[in-house]
Structure 1
Amino acid sequence: MKVSIITATYNSEATIEGCIKSVLSQDYPNIEYIIIDGNSSDYTLSVVNAYKQRYSDIIVISEPDNGIYDALNKGIKVATGDIVGFLHSDDFFNSENTIKNIVKEFSKGKVEGVYGNLDYVNSKDSNKIVRHWKSLPFTKKLLNRGWMPAHPTVFLKKEVYDKLGLFNTKFKIAADYDMMLRVFSDESLRFKFLPEVITKMRVGGASNRSLKNIITKSNEDYIALKRNHLDYPLWSLVLKNFSKIPQFFRKS
């Protein structure tokens, strides 16, 4: 199976090379790597184009966009893989075997999605784990408890996006949560939890950079819960926020 990995980037000269190397170091041979750049004004494109000249499987699109979800949607539209996943420009895969292990789970039987665990790491020292997001095998009742898989670890069949659509760009911060609710609420789809760390994410994401963003995130989460017809959206939101607390104490 062919895997499309999408990276959205904008002025990421400090981290983009590590992200690219993480993809290129994978020991799975059939990878299409798509980089969507928002018309960066620093040296991001210089780094990206240097790798594109050496690796024919890298697709680069650089143009102004309307934010990260618009960029990810562009990537999904041009992806030709059977499986689609994301790796943000500040992030990297946990090991060289990550994609191979994910594809193995898809190969075992009928499954439309595979997801795993996520480590948040210190922005200066990537060996220092700040927060460990340990996921669970999926059951639909988990959604009402505010549960969601760590979105950067979720790999879906391309046909899922063909069926359910792209990220809703009306959301500024919570389009990934809205997408996860949309996907995991579809009872025709089946998912497999891979109990290993898939992605390491440097701290400092858009959703937690300021109090204003935290408030915006919570408001958008509530809207997403209502849009996707969760039974008790306000209670689910409360549980979702409280469920994050143990992640700061759990390291494995």
Structure 2
Amino acid sequence: MISIITPVYNAERFIGSCIQVVIDQNCLNIEHIIIDGGSTDRTVEIVKQYAEKYSHIRWISEKDKGQSDAMNKGIAMAKGEILGILNVDDFYQPNVLNRILKIFPSLPEPTLLVGNCNVLNDQDNIVQINKPNNLNFLALLTGIEHISTFPYNPSAYFYHTSLHQTIGLYKVDEHYAMDIDFILRAVQVATVNYVDEIWGNFRLIKGTKTFNDLQSGQCGYRFFQILKQYRKQLPLSQQIRINTVEKRAHLQYFLTKNIKYSMRFLKRRISSFLKATYI
């Protein structure tokens, strides 16, 4: 069985479509666990309406300490040996869950199974496709484009529920980058399997927690603070190696960017000169 956990709070705009997305997967061996944080809008009312019709939906509504706490409650309730997190405003590609159930029996336990993820804007247009094809612990801690090497959203990865017995639960005091912290712990223990298929859809839309965090600049700062914590746990030789690789990457990025800028500037000057000459 696969257990899909959805943490939610005051999301009447999305909760119905989120539940329907799981229903439309037409997956028989599934439970959808919805953990509501005590919503004051119509969220609970909508969940109740669906739960009365579909027996695979299990839910609770009570105050919690945030998204990580809600996910941990869902993990404690989960009966499936496979786990997935589906945030209320995200969704799966068609027939993904049956595909996951077909793959997992041949995988060692615990496994982290990762696919690709569409990043969507307010109009549900694809602005990027996240392809996290190098989930090696040291690789994740190295390089200038750290964030792009991580899975952007849990709608595109699944794992054995037993993984939490080894690495622990999501950090309750982490309200934004809990998935980054989870990935860094998971890849050190689990067998990581990457499949070059699009499984999830991540809505990066105005007004959501993630969008606001990115806009404020706090997301990047928080991300690098987490990386710094994990780097400190490495042997000194590996820390030096990572710092050296990163400095080279930053230098290359700086030179490339400035060369491109210089070429654009030169082209503009030449164009202006030619216009002045022939006028």
Segment of structure 1 superposing worse, 16-25 or 128-137:
128-137
Q: Distance in 2 between matches of 1:99 and 1:225?
A: 32
Larger radius of gyration, structure 1 or 2?
Answer: 2
Q: What residue is the counterpart of 1:198 in the other structure? A: 199
Per the normalisation by structure 1, the TM-score is 0.83
Higher share in helix: 2
Select 1:211's aligned residue among 201, 207, 216. 216
Q: AA paired with 1:148? A: F
| Alignment partner, residue 144 of structure 1 | 141
The amino acid that maps onto 1:170 is: D
RMSD after superposition: 2.5
- Residues in 1 aligned to 2:244 and 2:158: alpha-carbon distance in whole angstroms: 28
* Alpha-carbon distance, 1:68 to partner: 0.7
Give yes or no for contact 2:137–2:184 (8 Å, CA) kept in 1.
no
Given that 1:218 and 1:237 are in contact with CA atoms closer than 8 Å, whether structure 2 keeps it comes out as no
Taking a change above 3 Å as real, the CA distance of residues 215 and 150 of structure 1, as seen in their structure-2 partners, is closer
SS in 2 for 1:192: strand
List runs of 5+ in structure 1 lacking aligned partners: 243-252
Aligned residues: 234
CA distance in structure 2 between the aligned counterparts of 1:67 and 1:236, rounded to whole angstroms: 36
Which residue does the alignment assign to 2:168? 165
Paired letter, 1:136: N
Cα distance per residue 1:183-232 (max 9 Å; x no partner) = 1012xx21211211111111135344131533552354335534664844
Alignment of 1:1-252 (within 5 A): 2-95=1-94, 97-110=95-108, 112-123=111-122, 125-126=123-124, 128-136=125-133, 138-145=135-142, 146=146, 147-152=149-154, 153-186=156-189, 189-204=190-205, 205-209=208-212, 210-214=215-219, 216-226=221-231, 229=234, 231-232=238-239
CA contact (8 A) 1:151 1:180 kept: no
Asked if the contact 1:6–1:85 (Cα under 8 Å) also holds between the matched residues in 2, the reply is: yes
CA distance in 2, matches of 1:107, 1:163: 20
Relative contact order, higher structure (CA 8 A, sep 6+): 1
Contact 1:83 1:156 (C-alpha < 8 Å) held by counterparts: yes
Pairwise CA distance, 1:44? 0.8
Cα 1:66–1:168 change in 2 (3 A) is same
Percent of matched pairs sharing the same residue: 30
Could you say if the C-alpha distance between residues 216 and 45 of structure 1 is closer, same or farther in structure 2, counting changes exceeding 3 Å? farther
